[in-house]
Structure 1
Amino acid sequence: MRKIILSVIGVLLIIASFLFAQKLIADKNKPKPVQAKVVKTVFTDTVQNTTIPIVIAANGNLEAKRRLELYSEVQGIFKRGNKLFKPGQEYRAGQTLIKIDAAEYYASVQSSKSNLYNSISAIMPDLRLDFPDIYDKWQNYLNGFDLNKTTPKLPEMTSDKENYFITGRSIVSNYYNVKNLEQRLAKYSITAPFSGTLTEALVTEGTLIRSGQKLGEFIDTSIYEMEVAISKTYASLLKVGESVTLNNLDKTETYTGTVSRVNASIDPTTQTITAYIEVKHENLKEGMYLEANLNAKKESDAIEIDRNLLLESEQIFVVKDSLLDVIDVKPVYFSDTKVVLKNVPNGTVILKKAVPGAYSGMLVKPFKETSNTNNKY
């Protein structure tokens, strides 16, 4: 029985081997399928050289053109004024920003002025006797001397004898001592040199202010500047007074500015030059981020294409007899998305959109737009 089973298994293996061999022979004799050539459809454009305006894109933040950092040169208590010293508070030119209590110092100034007045009064009898020709001049000075007003300038001395006499009585030194005190007294009050807005306030009413302490910042909100860095290639093209178009990030607002200043030196690290754009508008705020478009120059006999169409070898693809080929070009300006090229002959058919996996000799078919017409029955 065992021999019969082994014999049957052997026969089955032989039959299976024969059938498998027949299948292999049949598959080997089958003809290989011929792969159809794939022709990619591409978008093309015919070159026509024109004059391309070179517009330099730059960006930056607005800063107030006129800014005043407020510091105290004297010490005292911050007195309350007509307006609260708070950020956002507006002041007109000449209005008091900060007033520090100067009652004690004012008394010392008045005392020095009184001493000066007394010193001049004491020499008047001697002037009447020894210098009658200058007596009236000094008498008129005393008559115009008001302790509640700024000390008037001393009369001009016309002779050496007069100069020696007046100086010997310490009148000149007392006068300049008084003027020095008056100058310091004026520092107890800080006024706005221009109309603007307080953007930073570091003290409040009743605060003890110390000499050298920063009090806040005050800016002119009517005019701003934006600092932009431009490549040194265009350093000679930037001109003061040239108009500049500015946009916000959302492209919803457009402003017009002018180039107010151009730095004379180039940054050695970045090889850029700094330009300052002046702009005025009621909607502008300090710190606002804007994009600027500066008209640098116009490039004649050039074309503008997408940057992704330019190869690293400074070549572009062209279409010749349904095949892709490459030609050498000369890039003259790069923007974020575009590149301006020269040395591309008129009439050359180039790619309008990039083709993935493109290579020289690739078979392509230019895309042709067809107009659909509706037939009415």
Structure 2
Amino acid sequence: MKRKYLYLILSPLVIAAAFFAVSALPDKPKAKPIDDKSILAVEVEYAKPQTLQNNIEVTGKLKAKDRYEIYAEVEGRLLPSAKKFREGNYYKKGQVLLQIDKQERYMTLLADKSNFMTSLTAILPDLKEDFKESYLSWNQYLKDLDIKKSLKALPEPKTEKEKYFIAGKGIYSSYYSIKSAEEKLSKYTLYAPFSGSISKSNVEAGTAVRAGQELGEMVNLSSYELEVTAPLKDIEHFKIGNEVKLFSSELKGEWTGKVIRVGNTLDANSQSVKVYIQTSGKNLKEGMFLTAQVNSESYDEAIQIPRKLIFDNNQIYIIKDSKLALQSIEVMETFKSDAIVKGVPAKSAVLMTNIKNPYTGMKVQVLNAQ
């Protein structure tokens, strides 16, 4: 019983002591109200208007400007030559490339010329009798005729009667048959049309070739042609005669080219036009890729900014007094992901952060303030 009364007396004392202990603790700080209108942090660039140019770059494959496909126009056995007709071998202009055996054709031609001489000899008496004014010309022609040389032009008849007489004796038909055979005989030897190298060889010495057979291919290594496709919006910078810079991603160095042709048709899918650039130089090889670089016109008092920051074709945002403000601009040229624009005052803080739903007067905090 005494213990029960003791609990009743101590309990209020414990509760009172706990109350005074809690009251003695420091006050808990009050939470600040949350501002749901937080200020957005952005980055800017301070405008420094200057003279700017756009470097337009297009890439294409290099080809030899002069390419000569070699075909046989006659048939026969291919003769061995001092220099083997192999890929990579170099020939000077006029040097013999290939020779086809022409001995049989040559002998036939000599026989035809001998018969022609006989025909001329047979008509001389009649010419002396009936066409005295032409006799000396024909007689001299016969004296000068050498069957091992190409036939010279026949003397001109002085009258219609003489012309019919010469034709009636078969002189004209024999003459033109021989000239045709001489022309065909010249095709048994093939000469280099320019100085260059063999890029393809399809034949071996000793093999028989037929008329129309492809024997190989020759290219001129002193001059190349670069075919590129230029966007339609940039085609005005690729005018015939304009010089362009050329460079390779694989080789060091730089070359100079000149625009020689511009295509007249537009690729509907890519909206581009073909441009042909002539060039030459050390280390250039057919088939390599080159990039052509040409400068656009110069723009004074201009800056370069990302295209994504331009809206309504002529508006950007700048920062004034920590707020967004509209700035009208003039877009001079666009390329890749950037644009060259004019109309931005010097030292203006141009917004560089892409903001969702921006508006004039929107408060922002500049991270990279001057």
TM-score range, shorter chain: 0.7 to 0.9
For 2:45, the aligned partner's letter is: T
Q: Which residue is 1:341 aligned to?
A: 341
The yes-or-no answer on 1:277 pairing with 2:283 is: no
The 1-side partners of 2:330 and 2:178 are apart by 74
Q: Which residue is 2:115 aligned to?
A: 115
The yes-or-no answer on 1:45 pairing with 2:46 is: yes
User: What are the ranges of 5 or more consecutive residues in structure 2 without an aligned counterpart?
Assistant: 1-29
Q: Which residue is 2:286 aligned to?
A: 286
User: Are residues 319 and 273 of structure 1, via their aligned partners in 2, closer, same or farther at CA, if it must alter by over 3 Å?
Assistant: same
List aligned pairs for 1:14-93, cutoff 5 A: 31=31, 34=34, 40=41, 42-48=43-49, 50-93=50-93
Q: Contact 1:47–1:349 at 8 Å: present in 2 too?
A: no
For 1:222, the aligned partner's letter is: S
Q: Contact 2:313–2:331 at 8 Å: present in 1 too?
A: no
- Give % identity: 35
List aligned pairs for 1:225-304, cutoff 5 A: 225-250=225-250, 252-304=252-304
For 1:150, the aligned partner's letter is: S
The 2-side partners of 1:196 and 1:246 are apart by 23
Q: Which residue is 2:181 aligned to?
A: 181
Q: Which residue is 1:97 aligned to?
A: 97
1:31: Cα distance to partner?
4.8
Q: Contact 1:57–1:335 at 8 Å: present in 2 too?
A: no
The 1-side partners of 2:111 and 2:137 are apart by 24
Secondary structure of the equivalent of 2:53? strand
225-234 or 196-205, which deviates more: 225-234
Secondary structure of the equivalent of 2:104? helix
1:359: Cα distance to partner?
5.5
Larger radius of gyration: 2
For 1:144, the aligned partner's letter is: D
User: Are residues 313 and 235 of structure 1, via their aligned partners in 2, closer, same or farther at CA, if it must alter by over 3 Å?
Assistant: closer
1:181: Cα distance to partner?
1.2
1:233: Cα distance to partner?
3.2
Q: Contact 1:331–1:339 at 8 Å: present in 2 too?
A: yes
Once the two structures are superposed, residues 298-323 of structure 1 have per-residue CA deviations (whole angstroms, 9 ceiling, x without a partner) of 34453222445556977544223234
For 2:365, the aligned partner's letter is: V
Q: Which residue is 2:152 aligned to?
A: 152
1:325: Cα distance to partner?
5.2
User: Are residues 183 and 293 of structure 1, via their aligned partners in 2, closer, same or farther at CA, if it must alter by over 3 Å?
Assistant: same
1:346: Cα distance to partner?
4.3
127-136 or 303-312, which deviates more: 303-312
Q: Contact 1:246–1:257 at 8 Å: present in 2 too?
A: yes
User: Are residues 296 and 173 of structure 1, via their aligned partners in 2, closer, same or farther at CA, if it must alter by over 3 Å?
Assistant: farther
User: Are residues 287 and 171 of structure 1, via their aligned partners in 2, closer, same or farther at CA, if it must alter by over 3 Å?
Assistant: same
User: Are residues 296 and 211 of structure 1, via their aligned partners in 2, closer, same or farther at CA, if it must alter by over 3 Å?
Assistant: farther
Q: Contact 1:329–1:344 at 8 Å: present in 2 too?
A: yes
TM-score (norm 1): 0.80
167-176 or 144-153, which deviates more: 144-153
For 2:185, the aligned partner's letter is: L
Q: Which residue is 2:125 aligned to?
A: 125
The 2-side partners of 1:312 and 1:107 are apart by 85
The 2-side partners of 1:312 and 1:280 are apart by 46
User: What are the ranges of 5 or more consecutive residues in structure 1 without an aligned counterpart?
Assistant: 1-29, 370-377
The 2-side partners of 1:346 and 1:251 are apart by 41
Q: Contact 1:78–1:206 at 8 Å: present in 2 too?
A: yes
User: Are residues 337 and 143 of structure 1, via their aligned partners in 2, closer, same or farther at CA, if it must alter by over 3 Å?
Assistant: farther
1:177: Cα distance to partner?
0.8
Q: Contact 2:309–2:354 at 8 Å: present in 1 too?
A: no
The 2-side partners of 1:362 and 1:201 are apart by 75
User: Are residues 242 and 65 of structure 1, via their aligned partners in 2, closer, same or farther at CA, if it must alter by over 3 Å?
Assistant: same
The 2-side partners of 1:320 and 1:103 are apart by 95
The 2-side partners of 1:200 and 1:132 are apart by 60
Secondary structure of the equivalent of 1:85? coil
Secondary structure of the equivalent of 1:81? coil
The 2-side partners of 1:215 and 1:162 are apart by 48
The 2-side partners of 1:267 and 1:300 are apart by 33
